[in-house]
Every structure is written in structure tokens, then in C-alpha cells.
Amino acid sequence: MELWLAALLFIVVATGAVVLLFYSRKKQKKRWFIVGVCLLGAVLLILAAYIALTFLFLDKISSEEPPSDSLGSVDPADSFDLSIAEVPELYPDVVGFTDEEYGDMPTLATINEASAYVLHNILNARYELEFYLRRELVPEAGSGYVLLSAFENAMSYFPFGTYGPYDAYTVDDGDPDKVFARLMLLHEGDAESDMEARAEALEFVRKNPVPDGGFTDFESEKAYALKIHDFIARKTTYSPIGYNINAVLTNNNYEMKQEAYNVLGEDQEDAVCAAYARAFMMICHYAGINAAWVCGNETEDESHSWNVIFPCDGSEPVIVDVTWDDAGSGDDRVGQEIISYLYFYLPLDEDYEHSPLVNIESFLQFINGQ
């Protein structure tokens, strides 16, 4: 019985007992007076015992840990911080390319195959690559165009714009079928900032555990993606630097607010679309969600970045654009209450505002078997 109902019952019975006492006293009926006193005393004792047991039970419940919820917050008070030292060396692989088998010097026939090979090496923390390309793929000796495209595609699953091609060229060594290719990547960013972003992403997942064995159904994966979406929207505001094309061209990635660190860093509060999308993808990857970083909407003066998720149940991919949902909410500030969901899990066939680069769109279809 609930406490309020017990209190109501006590009031009714006690009132009846008091009325009985006054009636028996007025009528000088000693027997009924004694019955009323006993009844009132019994009610008071029962109520006292019930209240005592109720509060003991509530105290026991409050002292126990709450049941574990696979999508709930384990530590909403943020009472622990994950250190950089606890972050695994290799970045998570949600597309299964870390263990892909390649020969020492594979011959790659398409840009998508070359992109997958580049991604395989990046995920294994190897940044100096030598391989062969089919001759028909290389328009002329010395050209690095194919290699640059392969690198750009691979970065759709690696959230650091601070890595870039340092050496990219092909050599015609006389083989009629293939040409030699070399690609060397250089990290020009701040390794500590990038690792802090990784630590914060992994910390989010530790505090919001995924189901044992990972996601197996569309709805639970979508619910988790929504947590990430809202976390980023409430933590970050869109930076005014995104409207200043000259500033974007003259500063490094961190100053341009384009890195995951600009969203996930503890002292960071504003970012542009590239950072929103990289941060969203990074947390998704640590949670085991197959999210890609996509750029497009290219014009002479601007471009845009967003995410595409390939759901765990094999259903059609969907768009998540945290930037537009945040900046377009009408309440874009740190800790905001109002968040738009216009671009959350938007089916590709219902979207008319995002135009990805053709080579990236092709690679995502290739690597996800579509």
C-alpha cells in the first residue's frame, strides 16, 4: 500500500474512533468508550509500525546501486576522467579492415581498392605505404591524383584532419601492367590534443555503456546515436569563424575549429561543421556504430561536413547533421534546451540538401558492400 493511501485510511479510522469516544462518553456507555480507546490505540500503533518499516525500506533502496541500463548514464556526475594513458593505441575499426589480408606489395585496380588499402594501414598506425596500381588507373607517371583521392576517401573513417600526404607519387618502372606508388602521411597536429579528444570520446562510452556484444537492432543503436547527437549539440556552439573564409584559409585546423578536439576537449565550446562531424564519428566508433565522416556541398566559397550511419541491421544508411540541428535550433548555446532533429537519422532518399563528393560517396558504398 502506498504511504498516502495508508495515511488516508488512518485519518478515516482515527476520526471514526474519536467520534465513537465522544458518543460513548456523552451517552455514558463505558463499554463503547473502552472499545473506542482500544481501537484508536491499535490504529496509532499500526500506523507507527507501517511508517517505520516504510522508511527503513526506502532507505535500503536508496543505498543500493541503481540497476544497470545499457543506454543509461553510469556516472552522470562525471566523477571520473579517463586519462590519455588508458586510450588503446589503435583507433577503433568499425568496418573490419584492420585485419584485412594484403600481400607485401599488393596491386590495386581501382581508386576504391586503393582507398581501402590506405584505410587498412592507417587503422594499423602505418603511415608510409608502397604498393602498385594498375597502369590504366594512373593517367601519367608521377601523378599523385589517385593517391590523394584514396587518402581523402580513407579519412572518411579516421577523424583527424591533422594527417596529410607528405609524399604522394607514382613511378613507371617499365612494367606493362602496373606502376609503383608511394604515399607517406605526416601528422602535423598536436598529438596530445588529438589524444585528449580520443580519451573524451572513450570516456563518454564508458559512462554510457553499449549493450553486451554491441548493437543488434536499429532502435537501440538509434537511441544511442541520439545521446551522442544531443551531447555534442549541448556542449558546443557553432563558431563564427565558419563564416570567415579568409580565417579558415590562414589558420591551422585547431584555430579553424575543425578538429574533434574543438568539440570534445574539456575547455572547448565552439566549432565548425568538420569538428562536429569528426567528434560525432569518433564517439560512434568507440561505441561500435558504423558512422562515416562526409564532406560535400562544395562551392567556390564554402563546403560542409556531416555524418552517414550504416545501421547495424543492414537497413538503408541515414544522415546525421549535428551542425545544422544545433545551429538551426534557435537556441544555439552551451547547455541549450532546444535541439532540432530535422537532420537526425534522415533517410538518404528524403534528403535534398546534402551533396557528398562523388569519390567519397562511391567509396562508402564500396566499403559497406552496397
Overall fold of domain 95-187: Translation Initiation Factor IF3 (3.30.110)
Name the band, by pLDDT with cuts 50, 70 and 90, for residue 2: very low
Say if CB 170 and CB 179 are below 8 A apart: yes
* Whether pLDDT at 55 is above 60: no
Give me 10's grid cell. 488512518
Q: Which of 109-118, 184-193, 238-247 has the lowest mean pLDDT?
A: 238-247
* Whether pLDDT at 3 is above 60: no
Kindly report the average pLDDT of the chain as a whole number. Answer: 83
pTM over 0.85: no
Give every CB contact of residue 75 below 8 A, 6+ residues apart in sequence.
Answer: 207
Side-by-side strand order, sheet with 107-108: 107-108, 128-134, 178-187, 163-171
Give every CB contact of residue 131 below 8 A, 6+ residues apart in sequence.
Answer: 105, 106, 107, 108, 114, 117, 181
Q: How would you class 30 by CB atoms within 10 Å of its CB: exposed for 0-12, middle for 13-18, buried for 19 or more?
A: exposed
Q: Map out the domains of the chain as residue ranges.
A: 3-63, 95-187, 191-367
pLDDT tens for each residue of 141-176: 666 789 999 999 999 999 999 999 889 999 988 899
One-letter amino acid at 319 equals I
Domain 191-367: give its CATH code.
3.10.620
* Whether pLDDT at 71 is above 80: no
* Whether pLDDT at 220 is above 80: yes
* Whether pLDDT at 60 is above 50: no
* Whether pLDDT at 76 is above 50: no
* Whether pLDDT at 240 is above 70: yes
CA atoms in the 13 A half-sphere facing the CB of 166: 10
Give me 32's grid cell. 463503547
Give every CB contact of residue 282 below 8 A, 6+ residues apart in sequence.
Answer: 159, 197, 198, 201, 260, 264
95-187 and 191-367 agree in CATH topology: no
